[in-house]
Structures are given as C-alpha cells and as structure tokens.
Amino acid sequence: MRAVLLSIGRRVRRFPSVSATVGVGLVALIMTAAGLGEVARIGVTVFVIGIAALQLWQMVRQFRGGHWGLDVLSVLAIASTVAVGEYWAALVVALMITGGGALESYASARARSQMDALMQRTPRVAHRVDDSGTVSDIEVDAVMVGDVLLVKPGEMVPVDGELIDGPAEFDQSSITGESLPVELTTGATAPSGSVNGDRAIRLRAVSIAGDSQYQLIVALVADAASTKARFVRIADRVSIPFTGVALGLAALGWALSGDPVRAAEVLVAATPCPLLIAAPVAFVAGMGNAARNGVIIKSGDSLEALAHPRTVTFDKTGTLTGGAPRVERIDPVAGTTVAQVLSLAAGAEALSPHVLARAVVDAAAEAGIAGDDLTEVREQPGAGVLADRAGEAVRVGKPAFVLDGRQDPFPLLPLGDTAIAVSLAGIIIGRIVLRDQIRPEARGVVAGLRALGVPRIAMLTGDAERTAFHVAEQLGIDEVHADLLPADKVRIVAAAPERPVVMVGDGVNDAPVLAAADVGVAMGARGATAASESADVVILLDNLDRLDVAIAIARRTMRIATQSIWIGIGLSLALMLAATTGVVPAIVGALAQEVIDVVTILNGLRAMRNPR
C-alpha cells in the first residue's frame, strides 16, 4: 500500500497541473452530490479560466517569437464553454490541455528509453592499481593517461585502455552492435564501454574519460536527447487552415441552430492536442530507434532532412573504403634507400591524424625505423605536411603538392593504389605506395540508396582521379570529383542543385564539408574526431550499411508523424461536423478528443519499431 501511495505521490509531483485538474474535478463532484452545485460551478469556472489564462500567455509568448500555433482553439474552447455554462465540458478541456503534456512526456520517455539506457550505463568508478599492487576505487574522471586499472569480470571498461593481461574476451555490443564476444590480445586497445569477460584483467589507460569511446557516444546521445528540435513544424503547416475551418464550423453551427452552445460544442471538438503531440512523439521514437541501431541523429531537423535526400555524397578513404590502408611498397629514387624515405615520411607524419599518415607511421614502426627529427612541422589540410630538417625543406603528401609543378619521375600507379611523395630540399627522394580495400558493404549501400529513390550519388575525394574513378566504377557511382581540397568539397556541396544534400565522411579533413551539408553523416566508430562533432548524424558502428538503415528509419518516422497528424485532423474534423449538427454534446466531444489523443500517441510510438 505504501509503495502505491509513494508512486501516486511521485506522479502528483511530476504532473502538478494534471493533478490539480483532477483534484478540482473530484472536489466539484463531491460538492455537487452534497447539494453545493453552485459553489462547485463557481470553483470549476475560476479554475478553468486560470488554465485558459496560462494557455493564452504561452500563446502570446509564442506569437512574439514568430510562431503561430493551435493554442488559440484551446483558449476559445474553454472560453466558449464557460460562457454558455458548460463548466464540466470546460473542465474536461482543461484536463485535455494539461494531460496532453503528461501524455507526451510519458510517450517520449518510452520512446527515449534506448538513449536513456545508454546514458545510465556510463562507467562512474575505476579500480586503479598503484606501483605496490594496491587497488583503490576512484572516480572515472580522475583517471589519467598511463594509469593501470583493474577491470573485474562482468565490469565495463571505464576508459580506453591498452590490454596488459591478454588475451581476454570483451562484449562490445553497446558500442559496435556486434553481439558476439571479441577477443583482444596483449597490447590491443579495449575501448570504454566494452564489458569484460569471465576473468579480471589489467589495462593501461590511453585516454582520459572525456576522450574515451563510450563517453563520447554518451555525449552525442545526451546532446541529441536535449536538443529542442522544431518537431511541430509539420503541425504548424496546417495550424492556420485548421483553425480557420474550426472557427467557420463553429459559426455555421451557431447560425444553423441560433444557439451559441452549438459553437462551443464545435470548438471543444476542435481542441487540437493530437496535432501538438503526434509529431514530437514520433520523432523521439524514431531517434530512439536509430540509437538502438547504432546511429545517433542529433536533432529533429536532421531527421526530417535525412528522410528525403536528393543528393548523397561520399568521401572515399575511411568511408567507401575500409579506412585502414597499408603500405604496399616504397619506391626510392636512385641514390636513396627505402629506410631514408620511410624515416623522413614517418617523422613528418608523426602527429597527423590522417589515415594515410597513420599507415606510414605504422609501417616505420613495424620495420623498426625511427622517424627523422624534424622541426617547424605544419600540416596543409588536404595536401600534406611541410617541415624542416637541419635547414632543408621537407614535403610529404600528395604527389601534386610535393612536386609543386615539377615532373613526376615515377610511372603511373596501378588502379586502386595511392601514393605519398617525399621530397628533401626541393628534390623528390621517393614515394610510398598504399592500398586500401573497398568496404564489402559499400556496393550494397549505393544500390540501396538508389532503391530508396536518391537521384544523385557522388564521390568527393582528395585522391588522384584515376584511383577515385577506379573505386567509383566498382561501386556504381557515376559522378566523381577528385584531387579536392577541403574547401573544394565545401564549394561543391554548397552549390549542389538537388537538396537536401547528405555528406558522409570520416576524419578531421571532412569536418568542414560535413558542417556545410544539409545533413553531415560521420563514420564515428573509431572514436572522437572533428567529423563527429560537426556532423548531424553519427554512425557508431564501423559499417556503412547503417546509412541506408538511418534513412529508412527517418523516412518511416516522417511517414508516421505525418500520418498521426492527419489521423488527428481527420477524427477532429469528423467530430466537429457531428458537433455542428448538435448530436455531440460538449462534454462528449471533450472526452472523444481525449480518445483521439491516445490514438495519435499510440500511432506515433510505432516509430520505435524497425522499418521492414
């Protein structure tokens, strides 16, 4: 019994306006039964006028902000029912207004459950092991890079860490969606959010909590959950004509009957809670469904644009390809060794986040070659790196950037290969040839986009034209823009004639064009990048087919939101027409509108399910 009372108390505190409305109704019923009907009428009338005044104040504030809504019908419904003495109907309308917010809150909580569950699982405590082997519990935010941490069986890895006690199995389903355990060996990185297997392990922190994989995912989810998107724009498009029709039918009912009560009955039937609730519930449900499928959609505006893209553009490396290129060979010029070329390139690329740079650095490490000690290292985005070695200029990057107008001494590369050229003191000393494999799912994704009706699909890449066309031909992409700098990508996306434009990319160089697109989609599975921060949509799994899934979810969500609104409009119009003839008393119309609320909410919650 106590638990029931506590539960009721929590709901009263959570929805005070609803509780007050119900309380006033119960007191009025008791007073009426006790022969105090006039006092009950006065009390209910004063209360509902207060509700109408609050609604009117909110309506004025919205109007000042440039937003015309449907609240005017709610205010008119209360005012008209009070004016004709239908105070019980006025109370039901007040309950509809206050209860609409409660219903939306409940439905949104259900729809947001996937996001909430993700945030609630965030690690908060880490077990730090000191030099003596003593284990102490600390806040996750207190973990420093280099700390040795103990992760007990079944616990979540608190921060990204290098495994000390390998091999070990981890459940990474919360961050990758992969249901099968993943085995990691000593030295491998276990991302935060992974769940340890059946034995305790130690790892060395390689990131602080704020920069770790799971916390970054949670931050993206929290940002999406807190965004107050313009969910009601769909309803706004019909608000003025709907209001006009409702007022016209109210006037018609009054004119036909000569009774102002008829107008009040029509206005009660027109109370537009379904239009105000339907779209937000569907949008939140769709965003929660996308999160469950490994895609974070940061706002309702992004979801709406993602539902009907007219142009989809892709970066190549890391997006259409696997993003883990490997050095195939090194071509030194005469008089230069492979080691000299590789050490100079590794020294220049040591701090670059680009995937090709990482491949060069990894190749040098595998060969046991240390990078040269360079100074004045500075990166030219989309081109390469400039540096200095003992007074001699160093250039490492795209052949065109390194050659700087001089003739290329090397033969053409085979299709599919990419080269990084290296020069010292203005003289080419060699090139590093890399190869990246096309993602196995990429062709299916392009075909899926065409099946979804996307008319224009293009590739935007900084790679050489021959390599870009070779990849595009294999994937069925017929529009290619190659040898681009980041600014060139932005220009092409901004000038795209068919919109909305969706840009899919990965890496720091893609951040500007992702921000410039109508919808920027970042492949964020490998951790935090500027791309994820500037994108509107982040794919958490290292799998490009999530793009088709995200578009399908967005499309279904928009369809359900629109459908819910038209269901509400249709049922409300039918109810108004019936009220015009006088067959629907005011209180019956108000109760019928409550039923319409529930119907539209339940329909909106269908967006929680995956599209077929």
Task: Report yes or no: 454 and 309 within 8 Å, Cβ to Cβ.
Answer: yes
Say whether both 563 and 526 belong to one domain: no
Q: Would you state the pLDDT for residue 34?
A: 86
Res 15 pLDDT > 60: yes
Res 4 pLDDT > 50: no
pLDDT tens track for 150-174: 999 888 898 889 999 878 888 876 6
Is residue 337 domain-resident?
yes
Of 401, 435, 469, the last residue of a domain is: 435
Q: Would you state the pLDDT for residue 515?
A: 82
Position 492 confidence tier, pLDDT thresholds 50, 70, 90:
very high
Say whether both 371 and 311 belong to one domain: no
Out of 5-9, 224-228, 458-462, 590-594, the most confident range is 458-462
Say whether both 162 and 233 belong to one domain: no
Say whether both 381 and 405 belong to one domain: yes
Q: How far apart are CA 81 and CA 47, in angstroms?
A: 13
Res 501 pLDDT > 90: yes
Q: How far apart are CA 449 and CA 155, in angstroms?
A: 40
Please list the residues that pair with 205 across neighbouring strands: 161
pLDDT tens track for 31-75: 888 888 888 888 888 988 888 888 778 777 766 765 555 567 778
The residue ranking higher by pLDDT, 227 or 262, is: 262
Is residue 217 domain-resident?
no
Show the 3-state SS of 401-446.
Answer: HHHCCCCCCCCCCCCCEEEEEEEECCEEEEEEEEECCECCCHHHHH
Say whether both 347 and 418 belong to one domain: yes
Is residue 424 domain-resident?
yes
Res 394 pLDDT > 90: yes
List 301, 315, 372, 417, catalytic entry: 315
Q: How far apart are CA 18 and CA 16, in angstroms?
A: 5
Is residue 134 domain-resident?
no
Burial group, residue 179, by CB count within 10 angstroms (0-12, 13-18, 19+) = exposed
209-to-125, 157, 205, 535 alpha-carbon distances in Å: 11, 11, 9, 22
The residue ranking higher by pLDDT, 485 or 39, is: 39
Position 528 confidence tier, pLDDT thresholds 50, 70, 90:
very low
Say whether both 310 and 188 belong to one domain: no
Contacts of 329 (CB under 8 A, 6+ apart): 433
Out of 18-22, 81-85, 161-165, the most confident range is 161-165
Tokens 């039964």 correspond to: 33
Q: What is the mean pLDDT of residues 490-509?
A: 86
pLDDT tens track for 257-293: 888 888 888 888 886 665 667 777 888 888 888 888 8
Res 433 pLDDT > 80: yes
Say whether both 428 and 381 belong to one domain: yes
Of 274, 250, 247, residue with least CA distance to 264: 250
Side-chain-side CA neighbours of 191 within 13 Å: the count stands at 20
pLDDT tens track for 397-427: 989 899 888 888 898 888 778 899 999 998 9
Distance of CA 170 to the CA centre of its chain: 26
Side-chain-side CA neighbours of 260 within 13 Å: the count stands at 10
Residue 496 belongs to domain with CATH number: 3.40.50.1000
Res 131 pLDDT > 90: no
Say whether both 161 and 192 belong to one domain: yes
Position 107 confidence tier, pLDDT thresholds 50, 70, 90:
low
In one-letter notation, the amino acid at residue 42 is I
pLDDT tens track for 134-155: 999 998 889 999 999 999 988 8
Pick the range with the lowest mean pLDDT from 177-186, 317-326, 586-595.
Answer: 177-186
Task: Write down the mean pLDDT value for the chain.
Answer: 82
Q: Would you state the pLDDT for residue 41?
A: 86
Q: How far apart are CA 560 and CA 579, in angstroms?
A: 28
Say whether both 180 and 101 belong to one domain: no
Is residue 475 domain-resident?
yes
Say whether both 391 and 424 belong to one domain: yes
pLDDT tens track for 234-259: 556 667 788 888 889 989 989 988 88
Of 435, 469, 489, the last residue of a domain is: 435
Residue 194 belongs to domain with CATH number: 2.70.150.10
Of 402, 418, 435, the last residue of a domain is: 435
% of residues, the chain, pLDDT over 70? 83
Number of domains in the chain: 4
Position 220 confidence tier, pLDDT thresholds 50, 70, 90:
low
315 is catalytic: yes
Is residue 291 domain-resident?
no
Q: How far apart are CA 183 and CA 92, in angstroms?
A: 60
Say whether both 96 and 244 belong to one domain: yes
Helices 87-111 & 16-33 angle (0-180, nearest 10): 150
Q: Would you state the pLDDT for residue 481?
A: 94
Task: Report yes or no: 568 and 278 within 8 Å, Cβ to Cβ.
Answer: yes
DSSP 289-319: HHHHTTEEE--HHHHHHHHS-SEEEE-IIII
Q: Would you state the pLDDT for residue 6?
A: 47
DSSP 236-281: HHHHHHHHHHHHHHHHHHHHHHS-HHHHHHHHHHT--HHHHHHHHH
Say whether both 444 and 426 belong to one domain: no
Domain that holds residue 334: 326-435
Helices 586-604 & 546-580 angle (0-180, nearest 10): 170
Is residue 122 domain-resident?
no
Is residue 566 domain-resident?
yes
Res 176 pLDDT > 70: no
Q: 149: helix, coil or strand? A: strand
Residue 406 belongs to domain with CATH number: 3.40.1110.10
